[in-house]
Structure 1
Amino acid sequence: MRILVMNPNTTASMTASIRATATAAAAPGTEILATEPLWGPESIEGHFEGYLSAAAVLDRLATLGTPFDALVMAGFGEPGREGAQELLDVPVLDITESAAQMAMMLGHAYGVVTTLDRAVPQIQDRLLTAGLLQRCAAVRGTGLGVLELEEDPRRTVEVIIETAREVVRAGAEVICLGCGGMAGLDAEVAAALGVPVVDGVAAAVKFAESVVGLGLTTSTVRSFAPPRPKAISAWPLSRHLSPVRDTGRLLATEFSAQTSDI
């Protein structure tokens, strides 16, 4: 079984940490592939960057050319999963719904610890659309930007623990880590809090293994039917772009040709 894990931003170091967490969670015999889009924002902190990322992820999937049995989308609360479900003929899972579904199996109410406060409404909307918000006690931001998560790992864990304590006081019995960049921090946070902590990347990988193992995939009879054949100007975008270099530096208008090995 091969599972592709897609980091929605273009930061390769974050792809590496996501890959490591997914690999650790995978069962023997499951191969983890991981990559990120060829273009788009280096981190996603808001709707504008979220929609750019969704298009970039779909572009990457449309041109990847590597077979896999399931896709895990490693963005928390971000758009694009439904488009991938229409595009692909394999199961597609995202870490938002996977984390919440796993958490609801472990406690009456769960909570989410994420990055910036501005991400909170976006995550709440995603959980509401998925029918998962009713059992969410709270969603709280740590005040850390996505890229800040990697700058000082010790401080990152401390801030996550502090914020998670607030979420537990609000009634959560289980904590979900609300960013792919928090992958791998669940055990340390759980030890400090004394409550289960769900890493969305790990949860999505285990759900993907189960769905593939059961021989199931996305229903295409209605909501996620394949896109109707029609002309889409300049699509896929990456096929019409070429890396352009100026004195050894990538120009702002190009896409990066240096992506993670899958």
Structure 2
Amino acid sequence: MRLLIANPNRTEAITDACATLARAAASPGTEIVPWTNRDGPPVIDSLYSDSMAGRSLARSLVTIAQRVDAVVLAGFGSYGTGAVKEALDIPVIGLPEAAMAFAAPLCHRFVIVTTSPRMIPYTQDLVHALGFAARCAAVRAVGLPPVGKDEPPAPEVVRSLAAEVAAAHASAGADLAILGGSRLSPYAAALRGCTPLVVIEPLACAVALAESLARLGLRQSKAGKFAPPPRPLGEYD
């Protein structure tokens, strides 16, 4: 089985980090194929950059995805996920939907911790769009610097994550924590040692879900929302 790990932005270092995480989560025999959206923005940290990523992502994956069994969109956002699902006949999985699908049978309500306060409304909208609003106790954020700036020491990031998780548990009753992005994924193991809550790392969930769907021969339904566009894709350029 071949899984495409598609980085919606053009930063190769993020692609490499996602590929490493995906290989650690993949089953024996699964080949991880990393891909970078070179026509996308350098980072996705706003509604504007989300929109900039979506068009080039959808156009490029139509050709590339013919050589794989499933696609994982390796970002905790939208990025034209619906357009990619319309265009492709293989399973397409985004990190948010995979993480929340895994969380649902494991908890009463979850908290999502994202990378910066400005991404809280963005993530709240995403939760609503994916149909998990009733299960989401809170969306909180740590204050990581912009991508490309010096990352804080790992223990400091873990302490910040643990504080946000504890606050959501105390104030909103969250009993599971989802890390809101692959940038936070490397801290999952350390965070599990600092909280009694279950901690969900989204990229591992997306890889596991994509593998399962491919093995079962399932894909997004083409009988409704994700039916192919009515015109040939080239006519939309």
Q: TM-score, normalised on structure 2?
A: 0.91
Aligned to 2:58, the other structure's residue is in SS state helix
2:64 maps to 64
Decide whether the 8 Å contact of 1:112 with 1:167 is kept in 2. Answer: no
Distance 2:71 2:53 in 1: 16
Decide whether the 8 Å contact of 1:44 with 1:146 is kept in 2. Answer: no
**Match status 1:82 vs 2:82:** yes
1:52 maps to 52
* More deviation, 183-192/48-57: 183-192
Pair 1:153–1:34, CA change in 2 (3 A):
farther
Identity of aligned residues (%): 34
Aligned pairs for 1:1-262 within 5 A: 1-64=1-64, 67-147=67-147, 151-154=151-154, 155-169=156-170, 170-230=172-232, 232=234, 235=237
Structure 1 residue 131: Cα displacement: 1.0
Distance 1:177 1:149 in 2: 20
Decide whether the 8 Å contact of 1:8 with 1:75 is kept in 2. Answer: yes
Deviations 1:106-135 (A, max 9, x none): 111111000111111111111111111111
Distance 1:206 1:65 in 2: 18
Distance 1:206 1:29 in 2: 13
Deviations 1:18-43 (A, max 9, x none): 11111111111111111220122211
Pair 1:77–1:196, CA change in 2 (3 A):
same
Q: Which runs of 4+ in 1 moved over 4 A?
A: 230-234
Pair 1:20–1:227, CA change in 2 (3 A):
same
Deviations 1:220-254 (A, max 9, x none): 1121111223475784xxxxxxxxxxxxxxxxxxx
Decide whether the 8 Å contact of 1:175 with 1:197 is kept in 2. Answer: yes
Of Structure 1 and Structure 2, the greater helix share is in 2
Max radius of gyration: which structure? Answer: 1
Aligned to 2:194, the other structure's residue is in SS state helix
Q: TM-score, normalised on structure 1?
A: 0.83
Decide whether the 8 Å contact of 1:146 with 1:181 is kept in 2. Answer: no
Q: How many residue pairs were aligned?
A: 235
Structure 2 unaligned blocks of 5 or more: none
Residue 77 of structure 1 aligns with an amino acid whose one-letter code is G
Residue 45 of structure 1 aligns with an amino acid whose one-letter code is D
Pair 1:139–1:62, CA change in 2 (3 A):
same
Distance 2:65 2:95 in 1: 23
